[in-house]
Amino acid sequence: MTVLPGATVHRRTVLLAGLSAGAVAAAALPSAVSAAESVFQHGIASGDPLPGGILLWTRVTPTPESVPASGAGPDVEVTWQLATDSAFATVVRSGTVGTGPARDHTVKADVTGLSPATTYWYRFGLNDVWSPVGRTMTAPAATDAIARLRAGVVSCANWEAGYFAAYRHLAERGDLNLVVHLGDYLYEYATGEFGAGDTVVRRTSPEHETVSLADYRTRHALYKTDPDLKALHASVPWVITWDDHEVANDMWSGGAENHTPGTEGDFAARVAAARQAYAEWMPVRLAEDGHIYRRLRYGDLFELSMLDLRTYRSEQTGGADVDDEDRTIAGAAQMSWLTAGLVDSTAIWKIVGNPVMISRLDVLALPAWLLGPLGKLIGVPQNGVVLNADQWDGYNADRERLVDTLRAHRTKDVVFLTGDIHTSWANELTTKDTGTANPAAAEFVVPSVTSDNINDFLGTSAGGPLSLLAAGLIRGTNPHVRWVETDGHGFGVLEVTRTRCRMDWYHLADRTRKDTSARWVQGWSVGRGSSKIRKESAPAQRPRSQEKP
């Protein structure tokens, strides 16, 4: 049985490797560092690991005028190398990729022919300048017996609301095999327009709302200048999906709450621009038709199904319409793909990367002061009072179809990983038919990296009496919600073994501080063969990396 290697490398180690691995014109380190930082301003990344392949990404700035979204600068050939050591003494794959203004000088290399469950080091070169060195890992072969895997789980990073310290803490752990990002990697709003606790910590670029291709390219480029984001991308492969803010708030298949056709143009054109920039700037494989929902497997331990809950959904609505059989959040093709994949999977765990919360949130007994921050009260479906029609609550028929399929086929060991709602939850997925005694799956919801949550909306201190009261009221109304915390920003760490799937939540002390600490706040797990979740004690102290800093 295989225990996958953790990414036992710290941020400083990654950056130093980029300077020492025979890389950047070793004769003069200061000028070499300057050259690397000038050419590779937006970092490096890897994603979508397969047993025999990995996707590598970077962006080059070949000339001073070749800034993102400028359309300026020459076409160039970028070299990439993949090695089994950080000094690149054993390069196992290499090649060149052409890029230029047409693709905003971004580079993707889909490397194949690799060994399963193997750690590799990679870098990019332009002329005589090499990038910093990144570390990545391929997935195990589909039939390999895997003992354990750990993943960082994140969602919802608002640039203006704070610093991305959550990414720094994940990059420094040294025990992760991958990062799962559940959407809202960036936000489309103009500066000051989206909640940041009434304080803009750092201004976004462009300062107006992103609508055009140039706007989205510029916003992506800004995010990839964040040192903590770059460090996490360079230290471990990512598996990513999008939610609404990669285009516009509360997006559906034909529009969005934050899109006004009269002043912002055709919505389809806006979507096309946002999707093009996303395809250029993110380390993700998209299908030929552009769809992002996909499935990745890690040996016999688990399959990860990443969903797209924006492109195909019906428009959000309230009232009895949420029970309409013709309304969908996933679209017929994706729903068929999802249910068939879960039912037919031979993996021990079936994990779903789920951008918006699937568990019911009934709010009939909640007071007005709590309903305001949570959202506008809309509709009364079969399963209770809908709070947020943008979640699965607004598409009850799709949820019922999914749960009924799982129950009909006796499909067990399904775990939903969820973002979007900016708060921390441990839920059991129930419907009117399952009842609380027989949940269909477990759901672990991670907090935002920085985006506002309940205490930010209320203007109260984190963890105060009002927040504790709010959590208690939510749990009292929703017995399938086993734990909820409404204030913390941070990240989750998922540990998958052959007998249990466990999520640990970590919250930041202060999202507005670059050097903020993070603390463990809660752990919940689900055992194999059961969808009932249980509270866990704090994890054992992690051993420090044995690598020299």
Alpha helices in 282-395 (DSSP H): 332-344, 368-374
Q: What pLDDT score does 6 carry?
A: 59
Which tokens go with 168? 């720094």
- Cα 353 to chain centroid distance, Å, stands at 8
Which tokens go with 358? 């699937």
Helix (H) / strand (E) containing 381: none
Q: Is the dihedral of CA 295, 219, 127, 124 positive or negative?
A: negative
Which tokens go with 288? 């030929």
Residue 254: CB atoms within 10 A of its CB come to: 11
Which tokens go with 197? 């606790």
Q: Please write down the long-range contacts of 540-543, taking CB distance under 8 Å and 24 or more positions apart.
A: 542/173, 542/174, 542/175
Does residue 360 contact residue 387 with C-beta atoms inside 8 Å? no
By residue count, the chain amounts to 549
Does residue 12 contact residue 227 with C-beta atoms inside 8 Å? no
Q: What pLDDT score does 104 carry?
A: 98
- Smallest CA-to-CA distance from 159 within 506, 512, 508 is with 512
The 3-state DSSP class for residue 350 equals strand
Residue 156 gets which letter from DSSP?
-
Which tokens go with 148? 């354990």
Q: What pLDDT score does 373 carry?
A: 52
Which tokens go with 447? 């907090």
- Smallest CA-to-CA distance from 417 within 352, 356, 482, 359 is with 352
Strand partners, 57: 45, 108
Q: Per-residue confidence of the chain (549 residues) as pLDDT tens digits?
A: 666 665 443 333 333 233 222 232 222 334 444 789 999 999 999 999 999 999 999 999 999 999 999 999 999 999 999 999 999 999 999 999 999 999 999 999 999 999 999 999 999 999 999 999 999 999 999 999 999 999 999 999 999 999 999 999 999 999 999 999 999 999 999 999 887 767 899 999 999 999 999 999 999 999 999 999 999 999 999 999 999 999 999 999 999 999 999 999 999 999 999 999 999 999 999 999 999 999 999 999 999 999 999 999 999 987 778 889 999 999 999 999 999 999 999 999 999 999 999 998 876 555 444 554 554 322 334 454 455 789 998 899 999 999 999 999 999 999 999 999 999 999 999 877 666 778 999 999 999 999 988 777 667 677 777 778 878 888 888 899 999 999 999 999 999 999 999 999 999 999 999 999 999 999 999 999 999 999 999 998 664 443 322
Strands (E), 473-528: 481-485, 490-497, 500-508, 518-527
Residue 177 gets which letter from DSSP?
S
Single pTM value for the model: 0.91
Which domains are seen in the chain, by residue range? 1-141 (2.60.40.380), 142-536 (3.60.21.70)
Q: What pLDDT score does 31 carry?
A: 44
Q: What pLDDT score does 9 carry?
A: 37
Q: What pLDDT score does 434 carry?
A: 66
Residue whose tokens read 């309304």: 327
The C-alpha atoms of residue 88 and residue 68 are separated, in whole angstroms, by: 30
Q: What pLDDT score does 386 carry?
A: 54
- Sheet of 424-429, strand order: 294-298, 302-306, 349-354, 414-418, 441-445, 424-429, 481-485
Output the CA torsion 194→198→199→204 (10° steps): 10
